[in-house]
Amino acid sequence: MKKLFLIILILGYVKVFSQSCNEITKSFDKFTEVTTFSSPQINVGKSKLKDVKTVSITIHKKVSKLDTLYFLDFMGLTSKLGISSRGIIILMNEGNKIDEKDLIFELIEHSSLADIYYAKLPLTDKRLGLLKNHKITDIRLFAYNSHSPDDFVDISDEISSQIVFYLECLIKSVF
């Protein structure tokens, strides 16, 4: 039994720490001369309600001759909202949060089974600092359409660590 526990513990350790900055992808747009570096898509989980089925995040760094910009891309697979959707709240430890009321989620795919919504959250220096230094605990998509206190995604420590890991890869990167 001790051996089984040790194997499970080691496999869990390898899973968490097997991520690599080599998973960052790079693309170059020769028309705009912008290089984009992107993390793998991170499946962060499900909402407590049935409305939001899954949520994923991708982190991007866009480098041009003028500046370097960072973004979090959010995708939410939902049951039919039937309305324009806006707002996101990201809760972090120590009472920190990112609250973006004006973030618009665009409907990018519509089917009889579900809708896929997408939004791009710009990361200011202040937001980058918050994300690097504080664990994400919960995310509420469509924050200003939702009326239920249970309509959020609980973020695990592992997922929060992945987000910070890839963010640090992008910040420190010289690809």
Beta bridge partners of 118: 75, 106
Distance CA 46, CA 48 (A): 6
Give the H or E element holding residue 54. strand 52-63
Q: In this predicted model, what pLDDT tens digit does every residue of 18-55 receive, in sequence order?
A: 679 999 999 999 999 999 999 999 999 876 656 667 88
Residue 13 binned pLDDT confidence (cut-offs 50, 70, 90):
very low
Number of neighbours of residue 171 by Cβ within 10 angstroms: 13
| DSSP three-state, residue 23 | helix
DSSP 112: S
- DSSP symbols for 126-158: HHHHHHHHS-EEEEEETTTT---TT-SEEPPHH
Q: In this predicted model, what pLDDT tens digit does every residue of 111-159 receive, in sequence order?
A: 877 888 899 999 999 999 999 999 999 998 877 776 566 678 889 999 9
Number of neighbours of residue 34 by Cβ within 10 angstroms: 15
Give the H or E element holding residue 160. helix 157-172
CB 153, CB 53: distance < 8 Å:
no
| DSSP three-state, residue 172 | helix
Number of neighbours of residue 72 by Cβ within 10 angstroms: 24
Distance CA 153, CA 18 (A): 24
pTM comes to: 0.81
What does the longest C-alpha to C-alpha distance in the chain come to?
60
Which domains, and CATH codes, for the chain? Answer: 2-172 (2.60.40)
- Pick from 140, 153, 134: which is nearest to 93 by CA? 134
